[in-house]
Amino acid sequence: MEWLQKISITCFAASYLVVFGIELSRVFFQLDLRRYVRIGLTAAGLFAHTVFLAYHTQLSFNSQGIWLGSWFGWCLSGAWVLAAAYLWLSLRKPHSMIGMFLLPVVLLLVWFGQSFTGSAPFSPGRAKTVWNMVHGSSLLLGTVVVALGFVFGIMYLIQSRRLKQKRSGSFRLPSLEWLNTWAERTLFGSTLFLCGGFASGVALKMVQQSSISESANSVAGAGSIPWSDPVIWTSAVLFLWLLLATIVSVFYKPARRGRKVAYVVTISFLFLLLELVIVWQVGHGTDPQAFNTPRAAWRLNPNTAESISAHPINGKRQGPSRRLVVPPKPAARFSLRTGLRSIGLKPVLQTNGGNS
Amino acid sequence: MNLQVIGCSHHHSSVSVREKLAFTEDQVRSFLDKYHQSFPKSEAVLLATCNRTEFYAAGKSADGVPSSQQMIEFLADNRGLKTGDISNNLFAHQDRAAIAHLFSVAASLDSMVVGEAQILSQVKQAYQIAVDTGQQIPLTHLVFQTAMKVAKRVASETDIHTTRVSVPSVAVNVLTKQIFERLQDKRILILGAGKMAEETLTYIAATGGKDIVVTNRTRRRAEGLAEKFNGQIADWNDLDKQLIDADLIVSTTGATEPVVTHEQFKLVAQKRQEKTLLILDLAIPRDFDSKIGDYESVYLYTLDDLQKECEKNRQSRQSQWPKAQRIVEQETANFFQDVHRRNSGSTIALLKKQANNVKNSELERLLGRLDRLTPEQESEIEQSFHRLVNKLLHPPLKSINADQNSEAGGLLDAMKRLFQLGD
């Protein structure tokens, strides 16, 4: 199964990038063959993406017992769902240029993913709980659905503007009715998933605080929600916004018609981006003791007790053979090596002190 | 192959001439029956549509096929006209030009609305009627089958059929599809019951529109239109109520003042609760106040807006025209090469047969005169004759084969005459 290791982010990112280029070329000229090339390349990219994710998820699970080991895995999983959605939409709406709007989101997620290759993994101890599983997967699906809603919303606004201005435009988009229906569905879907994510997150926090309090033989703060946590309150704001938008659109017809839904899903996406930035900045879900900063990944393998800096720079060491951990580079490359690193596995450089 | 076509179309003939030469289906059948009685050695097809009447005649040899003048006379006689009345309004093409013309017609490059799909079914129907007459029509079969193949190729390899150029077709097939996913579940309100309304409804019905409501100041006309499209009739006084329920409005009245004013629509808009509304105002003067288009959920298109789209599509078709024309030219050349190849194959077979007959009779005569030949000697003489014939035939056969790729066929005719080969 060595070929599995050879599949890198470059394989599928390049496929998506070429498909995006093909989508853009539709603005300038028509070619029937292009459709098959586009679908074929997307399918190929998705296949490589699937294999890559499956392999690295397996590695992550074997090493830490968790599925999506870090933000790296989380972003790439989100990109995978969106790429699959693009393939499905390409087959359903072959004449519409949905990829022009959706593929940049996919590529951005892949790019974010690869730039997180050196960041801290999710805390293994916490990640193994059911609450964490529900929390992580709900937030992942919620993010994907919000991103989809954003794409549909933007397309709706462009299509509506073109029709109002009586311009047919140089590319085709789905009908307003279709875009409105799907934007509305994504609004409901994202509310549902983010509700699950928020509720499970709150439950998790309460359980965690309760156990800390018990261990400290104190009842103060046990079971209460820490509203001062920026992740908690921004999540609450996002969730309330979505809940309100959903309730209004269910009970008030005009709210789910026309551009309003498009605006709501677009604003939701911006809210979500803000939320994700905060979550990442505070290192939510990761183990702060293991990795305080991306640079903190400079460390020794736990099997060895000493730091590299404690030894002579020329590398001439005494004593038994030891393993040196190669630190991740700040600007990570698209490679299996960086992928391994991101999910907590440590590519090692084997040195033999006795022989050097 | 000899092929002639005479006829009239919207390009060369006025409506008055086309009317005189119009045929119903039964009249076409009767025309072909009479033709076969007059010219039994040839085949004929009559293509009669509202924009053209074309009379095709084909035969293996030139003597069996009527000349253009004979065809004009036959056509005029059948319609009870004098030849002089119509001859100046008719076109005539022969062989290659006739084939290229038929291919262009079938591919809808010669139609009034270039790219319209109806002409292909009309060509098929004309061919089918010719088949139904019971006459053998191998040449016509070949020509018309190829014409249909060419039409399909043009349709698949160019965009000439995809762009719409008439206002109702653009309105329904282009514009409504950008707003509505389907028309099956949409309330369609038609204001007016004129020709434009009927034409637009034809496209709407073809797209799946079912929930149709027709309203008109003259109820009787609305009833006729509603009945034709299985729609409902609404009283003109209930217009506001109908405006509230509608998803798509097609307005084609002949009113001199706006039928729906901005003030009137304000109340309607409140009750619509921002439901998307597409208004196709195809009337001149306009039936809807232009301010109505300012509502966020209302998309108001006038005749001028749609004309712009039509003009753009016409230009788009023009850009596809050279590509389509190249396909027709290519297929015409291929067709003649194919016909020539078939003819040369049969000529070669005849030539070989004739040479072998001569060889066999001479061999028989020689062997009868020579006694006491051993079997080896007989075989040697036979092989010698065989080689002689082959060597004599090799240069002319090689020339015919080389000539297969040309569509002229002059060498083949010369060969037939030179060696006195029959058909």
Give the lowest-confidence range in B83-87, B176-180, B299-303, B406-410: B406-410
Give the lowest-confidence range in A231-235, B117-121, B356-360: A231-235
Q: Give residue A90's pLDDT.
A: 92
Confidence tier at A279 by pLDDT (50, 70, 90)? confident
Q: Give residue A258's pLDDT.
A: 75
- Domain finish residue from A245, A265, A285: A285
Q: How many CB pairs lie under 8 A apart between chains A and B? A: 48
pLDDT tens-place string over residues B310-324: 777 777 777 888 889
Mean pLDDT of chain A: 73
DSSP string, B191-226: E--SHHHHHHHHHHHHHT--EEEEE-SSHHHHHHHH
pLDDT tens-place string over residues A114-173: 877 666 566 655 555 677 778 888 888 998 999 999 999 999 999 999 999 988 777 889
Question: Which of B170, B176, B274, B316 has the highest number of chain A CBs within 10 A, making it the mutation to test binding with A?
Answer: B274
Q: Give residue B405's pLDDT.
A: 58
- Domain finish residue from A260, A285, A310: A285
Does one domain contain both A176 and A325?
no
Question: Which of B157, B181, B307 has the highest number of chain A CBs within 10 A, making it the mutation to test binding with A?
Answer: B181
- First vs last Cα of chain A: how many Å apart? 34
Whether residue B300 is predicted with pLDDT greater than 80 in this model: the reply is yes
Per cent of chain B over pLDDT 70 is: 97
Whether residue A326 is predicted with pLDDT greater than 50 in this model: the reply is no
Does one domain contain both A281 and A303?
no
Residues A154-159: contacts with CB under 8 Å, at least 24 apart: A154/A101, A154/A262, A154/A266, A155/A98, A155/A101, A155/A179, A156/A180, A156/A183, A156/A259, A156/A261, A156/A262, A157/A259, A157/A262, A157/A263, A157/A266, A159/B178
Q: Is residue A86 part of a domain?
A: no
The contact set of A with B (CB < 8 A) is: 30, 159, 163-164, 166, 168, 173-178, 180-181, 253-254, 257-260
Does one domain contain both A264 and A344?
no
Q: Give residue A305's pLDDT.
A: 32
SS3 A30: coil
pLDDT tens-place string over residues B9-61: 888 888 788 888 989 889 999 999 999 999 988 999 999 987 899 999 998 77
Q: Inter-chain contact A175–B179, Cβ cutoff 8 Å?
A: yes
Q: Is residue A38 part of a domain?
A: no
> What residue in B sits closest to A158 (Cα-Cα)?
B178
Confidence tier at A201 by pLDDT (50, 70, 90)? confident
Per cent of chain B over pLDDT 90 is: 46
Q: Which two tokens stand for residue A215?
A: 């261990």
pLDDT tens-place string over residues A243-276: 888 888 888 777 777 788 889 888 888 888 888 8
Does one domain contain both A235 and A197?
yes
Within 8 A of A180 by CB-CB distance, chain B residues are 276
Q: Which of B179, B180, B276 sits opposite A257 (nearest CB)?
A: B276
Sign (positive or negative) of CA dihedral B62, B63, B65, B70: positive
Does one domain contain both A304 and A220?
no
Our separate counts of H helices and E strands in chain A read: 11, 2
ipTM: 0.71
Whether residue A212 is predicted with pLDDT greater than 70 in this model: the reply is no
B50 among known catalytic residues: yes
Q: Which of B180, B274, B299 sits opposite A254 (nearest CB)?
A: B274
Q: Give residue A63's pLDDT.
A: 66
Query: Which residue has better confidence, B370 or A66?
Result: B370
Mean pLDDT of chain B: 87
Q: Which two tokens stand for residue A214?
A: 């018990």
Q: Inter-chain contact A166–B312, Cβ cutoff 8 Å?
A: no
Query: Which residue has better confidence, A72 or A317?
Result: A72
- Domain finish residue from A250, A267, A285: A285
Based on C-alpha coordinates, what's the Rg of chain A? 23
Does one domain contain both A226 and A257?
yes
pLDDT tens-place string over residues B337-362: 888 777 778 888 888 888 999 999 99
Does one domain contain both A314 and A208?
no
> What residue in A sits closest to B159 (Cα-Cα)?
A30
Does one domain contain both A190 and A279?
yes
Q: Which of B182, B276, B309 sits opposite A176 (nearest CB)?
A: B276
Does one domain contain both A220 and A300?
no
Whether residue A342 is predicted with pLDDT greater than 60 in this model: the reply is no
Q: Inter-chain contact A168–B181, Cβ cutoff 8 Å?
A: no
Catalytic residue among B15, B19, B38, B50: B50
If you average pLDDT over residues B213-236, what whole number do you get? Answer: 91
Measured CA to CA, the distance from residue B316 to residue B178 in angstroms comes to: 19
Within 8 A of B305 by CB-CB distance, chain A residues are 166
Within 8 A of A260 by CB-CB distance, chain B residues are 274
> Looking at the 3D structure of chain A, how many domains does it have?
2
Q: Is residue A272 part of a domain?
A: yes
pLDDT tens-place string over residues B234-265: 999 999 999 999 999 999 988 888 899 999 99
Q: Which two tokens stand for residue A79?
A: 């990109």
Within 8 A of A168 by CB-CB distance, chain B residues are 174, 309, 312
In this structure, which CATH number among 3.30.70.1290, 3.30.460.30, 1.20.1250.20, 3.40.50.2300 belongs to the domain B2-162?
3.30.460.30
Whether residue B209 is predicted with pLDDT greater than 80 in this model: the reply is yes
Q: Is residue A217 part of a domain?
A: yes
Whether residue A42 is predicted with pLDDT greater than 80 in this model: the reply is yes
Q: Which two tokens stand for residue B226?
A: 């509603």
The contact set of B with A (CB < 8 A) is: 159, 174, 177-182, 273-276, 293, 296-297, 299, 301, 305, 308-309, 312
Does one domain contain both A128 and A273?
yes
Q: Inter-chain contact A177–B181, Cβ cutoff 8 Å?
A: yes
Q: Give residue A328's pLDDT.
A: 42
Within 8 A of B276 by CB-CB distance, chain A residues are 176-177, 180, 257-258
Within 8 A of A163 by CB-CB distance, chain B residues are 178-179, 299
Does one domain contain both A182 and A311?
no
Q: Which of B159, B179, B296 sits opposite A177 (nearest CB)?
A: B179
What's B167-304's CATH class? Answer: alpha beta
Domain boundaries, chain B: 2-162, 167-304, 338-418
Whether residue B107 is predicted with pLDDT greater than 70 in this model: the reply is yes
What's the domain range around A304? 294-351
Q: Give residue B381's pLDDT.
A: 92
Does one domain contain both A300 and A270?
no
Q: Give residue A236's pLDDT.
A: 82
If you average pLDDT over residues B121-142, what whole number do you get? Answer: 87
The distance of B307 to chain A (nearest Cα, Å) reads 11
